[in-house]
Amino acid sequence: ETGVTQTPRHLVMGMTNKKSLKCEQHLGHNAMYWYKQSAKKPLELMFVYSLEERVENNSVPSRFSPECPNSSHLFLHLHTLQPEDSALYLCASSHDRLTANYGYTFGSGTRLTVV
Amino acid sequence: RKEVEQDPGPFNVPEGATVAFNCTYSNSASQSFFWYRQDCRKEPKLLMSVYSSGNEDGRFTAQLNRASQYISLLIRDSKLSDSATYLCVVTDTGGFKTIFGAGTRLFVKA
């Protein structure tokens, strides 16, 4: 496999459920990101990991919990979400935090619906 | 004022037309600039970086105007397959802050 792979592609969950989104990159990149894309809104940066260390957390509610066990994998653990959390969640990677200047590679995203 | 602002469109153009999008940014210290393309219900994909000297890739030309703080994307000889949302992306010095515009929708019709 190449590029950035996200699973699942689609997820429907109740507000009391716990689920996890998974991202895997096969590019040898050292920085990984979670973005949220809501309808008709710009992408919102949620978390940044550089060399497996969280370097940015953009005031994201605690019901979203990221995990980066190694430089190739990134998870987003979800619990007690709200309907307004329904969105497309995109994982991205770049060679490192500084070479985000050269652009990101995005995964295909997880379309999340909270019911 | 939004940090990165784009005309949402949609732009409806016939095949073969030339179309241009602008994007303005508010931070004069911004360092790097990009155009991404996002197809419906798909992830964004890097289309091209934007350099001060301007750059061209086939039918696509990107330009940066630092004095007026805007970037542009020109598409010549539009194809049906160019229909997508085009995202303007700006990063600050050091690449620590990346801001995405909300995107401009383009529809190319036969």
What tokens does A115 get? 């019911």
Q: CB–CB of B101 and A106 under 8 A? A: no
Nearest CA in chain B to A101: B95
Better-scored residue on pLDDT, B76 or B1? B76
Over residues A6-43, the pLDDT tens digits come to 999 999 999 989 999 999 999 999 889 999 999 878 99
Strand partners, B22: B72
Over residues A74-113, the pLDDT tens digits come to 999 999 999 999 999 999 998 876 655 678 899 999 999 9
Question: Is the bond into A8 cis (omega within 30 degrees of 0)?
Answer: yes
How many residues does the structure list for chain A?
115
Q: CB–CB of A43 and B43 under 8 A? A: no
Helix (H, G, I), strand (E, B) or coil at A101: helix
- Among A60-64, A69-73, A107-111, B27-31, the least confident range: B27-31
Tokens 């602002």 identify what position?
B5
Distance from CA of B35 to the nearest CA of A (A): 9
Amino acid at B58: G
What is the rounded average pLDDT for all residues in chain B?
92
Nearest CA in chain A to B36: A103
Strands B98-100 and B84-91, sheet pairing: antiparallel
Residues of chain B above pLDDT 90, percent: 75
Q: Are A25 and A72 in contact (CB under 8 A)?
A: yes
- Residue A57 pLDDT exceeds 90: no
* CA-to-CA separations, A92 to A20, A78, A82, A105, B57, in angstroms, rounded: 16, 18, 24, 5, 24
Tokens 């260390």 identify what position?
A53
Model confidence at B94, pLDDT cuts 50, 70, 90, reads low
Model confidence at B96, pLDDT cuts 50, 70, 90, reads low
Better-scored residue on pLDDT, A98 or B72? B72
Helix (H, G, I), strand (E, B) or coil at B43: coil
Q: What is the pLDDT of residue A101?
A: 60
Amino acid at B35: W
Model confidence at B51, pLDDT cuts 50, 70, 90, reads confident
- Residue B75 pLDDT exceeds 60: yes
